[in-house]
Structure formats: structure tokens, C-alpha cells
Amino acid sequence: QVQLMESGGKAVQAGSSLLLSCIASEPTSVGSVMGWFRQAPGKGREFVAGISWIGRPVRYADFVKGRFTISRDNAQKTLTLQMTNLIPEDTAVYYCGARKPGTGPNWASQSEYDIWGQGTRVTVSS
């Protein structure tokens, strides 16, 4: 079973940038979409960004508004999320996930992800 491990989360000031990384213990299934989700205190987990196996297309939640960039390197088994211009509302635990191959077009559906990391915490203060 593939395992995912996130890193890069920390406490920062509003306006800062952070690079989150997610490393897989072994290659994910060919064709699998990977994504980032987040869960803020007291809220449910929500979709942040997703990327196809070949790197295009990519999809973002509306609240990203050009501030975040998702990328992946299949050879390095790495998924990243570059976050810029962070705001306090970005405070959350960020999770990476690998989607089951051959599932439908809704990348924001958590039920279609079968592998998750443990999360990395991002705290943004004003």
C-alpha cells in the first residue's frame, strides 16, 4: 500500500509564502489524479487543488484565486503546493491524496481518493 507523507507546514504571518510537499513511499497508480485538501479548525475537509497524472489539467478551488500552484514530479514521487500571499483563512491542516484511477470527473470528491497522508499544519496569523 502506497503511503503519503506531507511536510512544509508551519506558523507564518499573513502575506507569507509556503511550499508544501507530499512524498509517496512508492509510485502511485499510473493515471491517478492527486490532490490537496485542507481542514480548518471546526470545519470539514475541503478541496484545494488537483493535478492529473501528466501535470495537465490542474484544478483549483475558487478561494485559491491564483495564490496557490500545484505541481507533481512522478519520477520523484512528489506532489507540491506552492502557496503565496497567505491569509488567516488559510489556517488548516493540509492533506495530500491520491485518487483511484478511472473515477469520475469530480476531483473535489473525497470519496474518490483512496490514499491519504497524515496532514501538515499551516497557521497564518494576521
HSE, CB side, 13 Å, CA atoms: give it for residue 123.
4
User: pLDDT tens digit string along 41-81?
Assistant: 999 999 999 999 999 999 999 999 799 999 999 999 999 99
CA distance 15 to 70: 19
CA distance 86 to 28: 30
Of the listed ranges 13-17, 52-56, 90-94, the least confidently predicted one is 52-56
Name the residue type at position 39: Q
CA distance 47 to 51: 12
